[in-house]
A and B are shown apart, each in its own frame.
Chain A
Amino acid sequence: MSAARFASLAPGLAFIALVLAFLEVAVDRNWVKAVLIPAPSDTAVVLWNIIWSGAFADPVGDTLGLLFAGYGIACVLGVVLGVLMGYFRGVYNLLEPLAEVLRTIPKPVLLPPLMLFLGLGFPMKIFIVALAGVFPVLINTMQAVRSIDPVLIDTARTFGRGTGAILWRVMLPASAPLILAGMRVSLGFALVLVILSEMLAGSGGLGQLLSDMQKTFLVRETFAWLTIIAVVGFALTAMFDWIERRIAFWSRSAVE
């Protein structure tokens, strides 16, 4: 880490430390009850044990497995349908009304009927995660494909490229920055639905664990696992940033 980067991060990190220190004091002085909010130091001990014993691995693995499966389906489906809807008028006319209706439904309300219909297992969870994640990708991809400058397409045509090559080698890369922006939104949606579906239809994963802890008043454990979820979310975002910088590096520089 460069000195400049550290200097820009330092105030924010110091502020978090300050908040934690204040919480520590507040619990110590009994301003808040430790059974409701544990002292950060107590949470840290529990967290340390969870990490040291390796107990975090299975729930995190379950949650990430569900996330990647559902989110992966959402991304692939969103890009494929988005490109087709953006490029072919007929496909757009066929699918747009349905997409418009489905996209506006808050996805959590679909959980109860889906649990009846698909049961409590993995397929139901993958379905709801994919459904929550697909629309931002789909809409952004469609918009991106439609806003590509015709000169770019004509250029490829004058070099003798057919529809397949134009879709794959021109439209997809040209749309990549907007597609990635959609995927970033989707990642947030998908993570919410992963945790929520685990809470409601638990069979492993961080969501079920958290809801169990809360029901049995294991407050320190609850906060320790919350921290783990926060770290997982942070790591996913950081990974996404890293990928985005490598794929869409040209988009800001290319716009004059």
Chain B
Amino acid sequence: MSAPPNSAARLRIDTVAKTFGGKAGPVEALRSVTLDVAAGEFLAVVGPSGCGKSTLLQIVAGLMPASSGRVVLDATAVTAPPADVVYLFQQYSKSLFPWLTVEANVMFGLRQRAANGDARARCRHYLDMVGLAGFAAHYPWQLSGGMQQRVAIARALAAEPRALLMDEPFSSVDALTRLDLQALILDLWTKNRLTVMLVTHDVDEAVFLADRVAVLTPRPGVISEIVETGLPRPRDAVVTREDPRFLKVRHHLLEKLLARPDDVRR
């Protein structure tokens, strides 16, 4: 790989399509999705449930092959999960290993086997970073949902990734914890040079976190628009959300997403 270690990765999604073969005939989940994520950029993809955004992220992560098109990480085509890309699942409680302590879970993220003492020190460092310094010896199921997702974040960071893929990472925690974790992710993204691709149905979250927001419309999933948020950083959980520019982008995106003619909730 040409890029130096510990630098953010550049991600190119090149005319990716995905069709699932179902019993009731093939289902076209994604049609010709093309997206460029610059090194160090925070990109969000918003869309309603079932628009194929999780499918897109799984293809980017190398967990699922595309039907056509390709994903390129720096200069390498993604065919299997790349070593320096980490995926943060929505279901943190299923993604953490319940038979391992918090520390051992984070240890699982370490890319190469470090000496035992060294590995522990690194785990403590990342646990400290997510505010769980005193919980190394706990088991995940002894922690609250928000704390469990923090463990998952610490484990992701321990892998020292160059890109972080997040699939609705905060949708199963309560509203206040969500704000907390969003601030944590922004903080970590600023400290560690990372490229982030976030998939969410929460427009608010997408605008608050991202540099750019891509809108994915369903059946078949296509990128219908990409919006630059243009909000200054650092962003604040309260103040940024009152910024007229924030409200303007949010207004535009919500209108776009709610005005779908085939919206079944209408």
Contact = CB atoms under 8 A, between A and B. Distances in A.
* Residue of B83, B85, B91, B141 with highest tally of chain A CB at under 10 A: B141
Nearest to B155: A159
The range of chain A's interface size is 10 to 19
B108 interface: yes
* Residue of B86, B91, B108 with highest tally of chain A CB at under 10 A: B108
Interface in A211-241: none
Contact of B95 (A152, A250, A256): A152
B94 A158 contact: no
A8 to B, nearest CB: 26
Nearest to B90: A151
Given A151-B89, A173-B99, A254-B98, A158 B81 contact: yes
Interface in A242-256: 250-251, 253-254, 256
Given A157-B63, A157-B81, A170-B97, A253 B139 contact: yes
A160 interface: yes
B169 to A, nearest CB: 13
B63 A154 contact: yes
Nearest to B80: A157
Given A154-B63, A158-B61, A160-B111, A256 B94 contact: no
A152 B63 contact: no
B243 to A, nearest CB: 35
Interface in A120-169: 149, 151-152, 154-160
A250 B139 contact: yes
Contacts of B111: 159-160
Contacts of B83: 160
Contacts of A173: 97, 99
A253 B143 CA distance: 11
B81 to A, nearest CB: 5
Contact of A159 (B80, B86, B94, B140): B86
A173 to B, nearest CB: 5
Contacts of B141: 250, 253-254, 256
Given A160-B83, A250-B139, A155 B89 contact: yes
Contacts of A160: 81, 83, 111
B98 to A, nearest CB: 4
A155 to B, nearest CB: 5
Contacts of A196: none
A109 B249 CA distance: 76
22 contacts: A149-B91, A149-B94, A151-B89, A152-B95, A154-B63, A154-B89, A155-B87, A155-B95, A157-B80, A158-B61, A158-B81, A158-B85, A158-B87, A159-B86, A159-B108, A159-B159, A173-B99, A176-B99, A254-B139, A254-B141, A256-B93, A256-B141
Interface of B: 58, 61, 63, 80-81, 83, 85-87, 89, 91, 93-95, 97-99, 108-109, 111, 139-142, 159
Top 8 A-B pairs ranked by shortest CB distance? Answer: A254-B98, A158-B87, A151-B94, A254-B141, A250-B98, A155-B95, A149-B94, A158-B81
